[in-house]
Amino acid sequence: MPKSESTKVILGYILICVIWGSTWLAIKIGLESIPPFLGAAVRFLLAAIIMFGIVAAKKIHIPRHSLAIRLYILVGCCTFSLGYAFVYWGQQFVPSALASILFGTFPFFVAALSWFVYKSEYITFVKAVGIVIGFIGVVVIFSEDVTYHIGDASTLGMGALIIAAIIQAFASVTVKKYGYEISTLALITVGMAIGTCILFIISIVTEDWSVTVIDAKAVGSVFYLATFGSIVTFGTMFWLLKRIEAVILSLSAFITPIIAIVLGVFVAGEQFTAQIFAGSALVLLGILVANLQGLFFLLKKRKR
């Protein structure tokens, strides 16, 4: 890889980690002015409009056969509507840093579903250890709140973020198994449009739009999440996937929550109890351990 290309790869990797790490705080800020489902719907409406423009400009073919349509509906329902509906709703009651940690269990559920449901991924001993460590961390995080405040809003909010991770993991595993012939940009664009419609319906049925405040927080949050949090990150990620190994890219799941914690604590003034901090550290350790074997294999391959 040329030196100039290597520099772009490094900068691109840093970019997606920083942006993804900051989206949790951006969602939290936006929730101060706009209801959760409406905020998510407007975000993806703007992002979908931009994405359709990109697809049209690049003349990307959008398949219309039955499998493609089923996958569009799956991505729209799981990734861009229900998945993000639980994320936005849960973040009303959970600090942004903790939300990023709980959703950081996403790769664990991807591995588990790949093995249990589709038998398409062999879980090595090291990866299993990482998953177990991560889930112990989640139990530690929940245990403090569940023990003393079972059923309260923060417990439900944390549960919503775990559900979001499971839903999105299911969609990712299914798309990986059946959607390899469909353009990723087409899949995301159409799925995003479907998800936007569903989110607007959920919002109309469940939310009072009159409480919405169109201020700098609302506009800034939606614009940042739609452009940087959706368009820039997806575009950069696909560009990186063609240039670096997937195992290296997967380590962003370890880095992103750390950035979210730093921003949550130092920018938003969020606080962690010792128990939540310990649980979060275990989740991050689990993510790192689960990826170590793949990383070591990659390093050995490069030395040959």
Q: What is the pLDDT of residues 120-161, one digit of tens each?
A: 666 778 778 888 888 888 888 877 655 444 456 788 898 999
The CA distance from 111 to 169, in Å, is 9
Show the domain range for 214: 3-303
pLDDT tens profile 37-95: 999 999 999 999 999 998 999 888 899 999 999 999 999 999 899 999 999 999 999 88
State the angle between helix axes of 66-74 and 184-206 in degrees (0 to 180), rounded to the nearest 10. Answer: 50
Please give the angle made by the CA atoms of 201, 82 and 279, to the nearest 5 degrees.
145
For 213-233, write each residue's pLDDT tens digit.
999 999 999 999 999 998 888
Exposure letters 48-59 (e unless 16+ CB within 10 A, then b): bebbeeebeeee
Q: How many domains are contained in the chain?
A: 1
pLDDT greater than 90 at residue 98? no
Amino acid at 26: A
CA distances from 281 to 90, 248, 266, 268 (A): 21, 20, 18, 20
pTM over 0.75: yes
